[in-house]
Amino acid sequence: MHLPEFLQQDTDGWIHLAGHRIGLEDVVYHYNDGCSPEMLLAEFPTLSLALIHKLLGFYLENRAEVDAYVAASDQDVARQRAAAPASPDLAELRARLTSAKVSH
């Protein structure tokens, strides 16, 4: 996918708005959830309305490629979450707290 000057792809493959930490998938997610350009401006106040319109135009002209990128990003996040160790549940946290109190 050829990116316009207002989008950048980092070495990890993450596409974001140039000069921002806002990802392409973040804006696309909210847009597909029903946000208007004005609602996106409220959600991402560091962007200009003109930039949001440019971004949405890019998305609509490259929808299949962007949707494939977003789906791949979602799958990558799901893989990372599955590989992460499980967090302790409430019972484990209470047991740790009790153990810490006893040892002091």
17, 47 in Cβ contact below 8 A?
yes
15, 69 in Cβ contact below 8 A?
yes
Q: Answer whether residue 104 shows pLDDT above 80.
A: no
| 52-61 average pLDDT score | 97
* Domain extents in the chain: 7-103
Domain covering 7-103: architecture: Orthogonal Bundle (1.10)
At 4-45, the pLDDT tens digits run: 999 999 999 999 999 999 999 999 999 999 999 999 999 999
